[in-house]
Amino acid sequence: MAAKINIIQKLIRQFQPIGAQWKRLRQKTGEFLIDAAGICNRQQFEALKRHLKDHYNIAMVEQEACMGIADGLIPPELLQYLPASMVTSFTVQTMPDPKKIYPIYSPTSGAVVNKRLKDMDRHEIKANVLMRQGVVNVIDARDAISRRELPVMPALAKSVRYENGYLVFYVPSLKRDIRHPLDSKFVKSVNKWAVHERIAS
């Protein structure tokens, strides 16, 4: 038991010069953890990792990313653009290359553009870089965006009228008419709403 405590305490003291600036020293943090894994048994290593999490706010997934950097599996600059949880999900084959220019679909401009990771905005990263898969095919990204439902924004209509099979709502906040086909789907949704209103009353 004493030997176990001594090993952990020794490693904790060894990490102190790195601890406060671990984000700038991910390589050294990873090297420290890899060396510690070779010295400790599994229980000791888990205790050490918990200490780093509790005292230096280094999440477990961040520690994993640091070890990946030290092993040469993860490009260090990747953590500037992507969260550690995503970076650690990639394989060697799917790991994005920060220096590579990728053809991507940009939801911002609605067009295919060529960009490095550092030049992508958050919407472009969300659309084109996926957990485990890395940077996806530009056509897949565009199709995924087109299938994604648009956010629903509630609005109050001031008036409603019927025109050629459509209900036309005038919405003051939008300063325009909203046309909705008077089809069976719409009638069912209105009937469902009316039933709920009767039950509530």
Return the SS3 of 160.
Answer: strand
Residue 60: half-sphere exposure toward Cβ, Cα within 13 Å: 6
Same domain, residue pair 129 and 188: no
Amino acid 174 reads L
Do the domain assignments include residue 76?
no
CB 87 within 8 A of CB 80: no
Do the domain assignments include residue 121?
yes
Same domain, residue pair 108 and 59: no
| Tokens read off for 84 | 């550690």
**Structure confidence at residue 198 (pLDDT):** 45
Q: Name the residue among 55, 82, 56 with its Cα closest to residue 69.
A: 82
Do the domain assignments include residue 164?
yes
56 vs 62: CA distance, rounded Å:
11
Same domain, residue pair 143 and 189: no
Please give the tally of structural domains in the chain: 3
Model confidence pTM above 0.75: no
Do the domain assignments include residue 153?
no
Same domain, residue pair 136 and 165: no
- How far is CA 112 from its chain centroid? 21
Do the domain assignments include residue 176?
yes
Do the domain assignments include residue 83?
no
CB 182 within 8 A of CB 160: no
**Structure confidence at residue 195 (pLDDT):** 44
CB 30 within 8 A of CB 62: no
The CB density around residue 62, as the number of other CB atoms within 10 Å, is 23
Same domain, residue pair 168 and 194: yes
Torsion of CA 71, 75, 79, 85, to 10 degrees: -60
72 vs 200: CA distance, rounded Å:
62
Do the domain assignments include residue 80?
no
**Structure confidence at residue 63 (pLDDT):** 98
| Mean pLDDT by groups of 10 residues along the chain of 201 residues | 72 95 96 96 95 97 97 96 96 94 87 93 91 86 60 67 82 76 65 46 41
Cβ contacts of 91 within 8 Å, gap of 6 or more: 132
Do the domain assignments include residue 107?
yes
42 vs 180: CA distance, rounded Å:
63
**Structure confidence at residue 162 (pLDDT):** 83
- Domain housing 49: 2-70
Buried b (16+ CB within 10 A) or exposed e, 29-50: bbbbbeebeeebeeebbebbbe
Same domain, residue pair 119 and 142: yes
**Structure confidence at residue 128 (pLDDT):** 92
